[in-house]
Structure 1
Amino acid sequence: MKIALPTRENYIDGHFGHCEYYTVFTIDDSSKEILSQEIIASPQGCGCKSNIATTLAEMGVSLLLAGNMGEGAVNVLSRSGIEVVRGCSGDVKEVALSWLAGSVMDSGEMCHAHEAGHECQH
C-alpha cells in the first residue's frame, strides 16, 4: 500500500493545493510498517486542477493524509481511487505512523474559510 501526504518542510501542509511536495510512504500491508519513502514534486497550480491525482494513482497511492482541502480536490482524488483523510497535522512520518496505529480519523471538514492572505482554489 502507498500513502501520500502533502508536505512543506517535512510537515503536513495545511493546504493541499499549495504544498511544496508530496511525501509517499510504501507500507507493508501485513506488518503495517513503513518500507520506503519518496518525494514527489508538487505540480504548478491548484492541486485539484493539476495532474497530481493521476500521478499519485499511477504510482499506486490509495490514501492521502491531508491537512485541509476543498471539495473539488477531494472529488478529483476520489475519482482517481484515492481515499482522503483530512484534519491531519504535524511531522509527516509521525502522522503516517499514527494512521497505521489507527489513531487518525477524517475531520470531514472542507476548506471554506478565507483568511487574510489565504486563497483556496476550489
Structure 2
Amino acid sequence: MRKIAIPITRDNQIESHFGRSKFYEIYLFSSNNEILDIQLLETQHKRACKSDIFNELASKGVSCLLSENIGDKAYHKFNEAGIQVIRGCSGDSSDVILKYVENQISDRGSNCVKPHKSHSNHSCHN
C-alpha cells in the first residue's frame, strides 16, 4: 500500500503554489492501484513551507506529493522526509490522481526559483 498527498484549495483544485497550501488530500492505494481511502488534512499554518508539514505527512506514511509549483527549500525538505515530489500538476485533484495512477503524469523537473507573495509576480520554470 502507498499514500499520496495533494495540496488543494477549498474547491479541490491543486494549489497553484505549495507554500499557500492549507488543505491536503491523502489517498491510500492498494498494491493494485485501487483507492482504498481518502483523508482530508487541514493545517493551521499560514504558510505551509514554514510549517512542519513535511514531517507530518511523512509520519502519516505519505511517500509522494503531487504539486503544481514548489520552491527549492520545500522540495528538499520533502526529499529529506522521504517523500518524492512530482512537480507541474494542476487541475482538479481527482482527475490528477487518476492520471498519476495511469502513469500519465511525470515530474517537470524544476522548482520555483525565488520567494514571492503572489505567484503572478514571477515565472516558475516549466
Q: TM-score, normalised by structure 2?
A: 0.86
Following superposition, which runs of at least 4 residues in structure 1 exceed 6 angstroms of deviation?
Answer: 113-116
Unpaired segments of 5 or more residues in structure 1? none
Asked if structure 2 preserves the Cα contact closer than 8 Å seen for 1:5 and 1:65, the reply is yes
Identity %: 35
Q: Using the alignment, how far apart are the partners of 1:115 and 1:13 within structure 2? A: 15
SS at match of 1:57: helix
Asked if structure 2 preserves the Cα contact closer than 8 Å seen for 1:43 and 1:51, the reply is no
C-alpha displacement of 1:94: 1.2
C-alpha displacement of 1:103: 0.6
Q: Using the alignment, how far apart are the partners of 1:90 and 1:77 within structure 2? A: 22
C-alpha displacement of 1:43: 3.9
Q: Using the alignment, how far apart are the partners of 1:81 and 1:114 within structure 2? A: 24
1:117–1:83: structure 2 CA closer, same or farther, 3 Å change rule?
A: closer
Aligned pairs, number = 119
RMSD: 2.0
SS at match of 2:76: helix
C-alpha displacement of 1:45: 3.5
1:25 aligned to which of 24, 27, 33: 27
Letter in 2 for 1:2: K
Q: Using the alignment, how far apart are the partners of 1:104 and 1:27 within structure 2? A: 17
Q: TM-score, normalised by structure 1?
A: 0.88
C-alpha displacement of 1:114: 7.1
Unpaired segments of 5 or more residues in structure 2? none
| Structure 1 residues 18-40: Cα deviation after superposition (integer angstroms, max 9, x where no partner) | 023001000112x1111110111
